[in-house]
Copies of this chain bind each other. A is one copy, B any other.
């Protein structure tokens, strides 16, 4: 039963936030009658909402329950003043990502109108090998996760994406030595990602702080500022319990 609830909730994503019950049943791989009954119950509890055309979406109550005790809330609160300052100076996109399974999950993003193209969404994910935040997190991840990612496949977004294991292994070593990563055109030719690790009080890497800026020779100039902001977040971070 919990399994069915999860399949219903997983059917919604940023591209399909609103579904008819029959589309929902198809996406969740459940019989229409089961889906319909489950939707009624979930709507009753506010975990799903229904619009005037009886289409279904995630409910405000679901967001509230997930957010008010979210394990990422402490990190986000500590980081937010620094993200704002960073965004005021750099513009474009500023984002904070954490390692979740084999991807980077973005827990916060600030974007300016008219900023350079960026595929990231709040609560969206990107592969570890392709994004600047992902490379930071992978470089500091347990070695079994690193080996699993190195074993591939390594999907290419552009001809600059790192898609071979040797280059990836060398890049991860570099990231650990340099303390930052610069990804010019790795996901889109016009954009560059630049990221640094965010550490907690015990110096463990808990997040990646990244900017996505135009892919030109000013991108690397953001590194000193990113580092200073990451130090600021570390100083104001409370104890975090992950997992």
Contact = CB atoms under 8 A, between A and B. Distances in A.
Residue with the greatest number of chain B CB neighbours at <10 A, chosen from A70, A81, A98, A124: A70
Residue with the greatest number of chain B CB neighbours at <10 A, chosen from A50, A62, A105, A111: A62
A64 B50 CA distance: 20
A76 to B, nearest CB: 8
A38 interface: yes
A151 interface: no
A237 interface: no
B81 A71 contact: no
- Specify how many copies of this chain sit in the oligomer: 2
A65 interface: yes
Contacts of A98: 60
B84 A71 contact: no
Contact of A14 (B50, B59, B69): B69
Contacts of A9: 65-66
B66 A66 contact: yes
B42 A2 contact: yes
28 contacts: A2-B41, A2-B45, A12-B69, A13-B68, A17-B69, A18-B241, A49-B71, A50-B243, A57-B69, A58-B66, A60-B72, A61-B100, A62-B65, A62-B66, A63-B70, A63-B71, A64-B125, A67-B67, A67-B123, A68-B122, A70-B123, A73-B122, A73-B123, A77-B111, A80-B111, A81-B111, A81-B113, A84-B110
Given A64-B100, A72-B60, A100-B60, A51 B243 contact: yes
A125 to B, nearest CB: 8
A71 B57 contact: yes
Contacts of A62: 65-66, 70
Residue with the greatest number of chain B CB neighbours at <10 A, chosen from A59, A84, A105, A243: A243
Given A60-B242, A66-B66, A81-B111, 7 more contacts: A2-B38, A3-B41, A60-B72, A66-B67, A67-B122, A68-B121, A113-B236
Interface string A76-89: 01001100100110
A63 B41 CA distance: 20
Contact of A57 (B58, B67, B241): B241
A204 interface: no
